[in-house]
Chains A and B, each alone.
Chain A
Amino acid sequence: EAEVAQSPRYKITEKSQAVAFWCDPISGHATLYWYRQILGQGPELLVQFQDESVVDDSQLPKDRFSAERLKGVDSTLKIQPAELGDSAMYLCASSFGQGETQYFGPGTRLLVL
């Protein structure tokens, strides 16, 4: 069964450093999502791509976060500089199209010291 791949699975960094997360969606899925999940809460959408275009980034803290999906396949989420409050699980999901069922990857757990 096809799965969403994410790397790294765990990342420890110091505040003010830059971090990057990678996501490879299920083959053929045009829509890709990045979520952030703080411990004890449900995931919250950061950004949504349709192919290579951003559909919704209204919840993305654009002063320090950036996301790209240059060829409409895999995607990178970057934080620069990282802050203590960025410690969370970062989840990637994909769906065949907008509004279709989303399938999640295993996530990247970030700890900022």
Chain B
Amino acid sequence: DAKTTQPPSMDCAEGRAANLPCNHSTISGNEYVYWYRQIHSQGPQYIIHGLKNNETNEMASLIITEDRKSSTLILPHATLRDTAVYYCIVRVTGNQFYFGTGTSLTVIP
């Protein structure tokens, strides 16, 4: 499975969009991009995943570049409750999830 690179930390003003980047330059054609988040002392929470096309659900949007070497998770209107560690994972279906250290997002009032 491809490795991912994420910035260790980011800040975002409350009410603004939070854009969390992820580099996965060695991704192969059958690897999905998954995003999870972990609020302090809780289990990871599934956010969204995609293969090639951009995806949107009630929580977030996932933008995958055309060459699939990077992606961005967008939280359209960040709230204080979005403060968490966000993990970007690439995975071949059937293979394991490998979590890195993620991006610690702090939403500032």
| A interface residues, Cβ below 8 angstroms from B | 4, 40-45, 48, 56, 89, 91, 93, 98-99, 101-107, 109
| B interface residues, Cβ below 8 angstroms from A | 34, 36, 41-46, 49, 87, 93-102
Query: Given known contacts A41-B101, A42-B101, is B93 in contact with A99 (CB within 8 Å)?
Result: yes
Main secondary structure of the interface of B (DSSP, over half): loop
Query: Given known contacts A98-B94, A99-B94, is B101 in contact with A91 (CB within 8 Å)?
Result: no
Closest chain A residue to B89 by CB distance? A42
A-B CB pair tally, cutoff 8 Å:
44
Kindly list chain A residues whose C-beta atoms are within 8 Å of the C-beta of B87: 42
Main secondary structure of the interface of A (DSSP, over half): loop
Contacts A/B (CB < 8 Å), 5 sampled: A40-B101, A42-B87, A45-B96, A103-B46, A107-B43
Pairwise interchain contact A99-B95, C-beta atoms closer than 8 A:
yes
Pairwise interchain contact B44-A91, C-beta atoms closer than 8 A:
yes
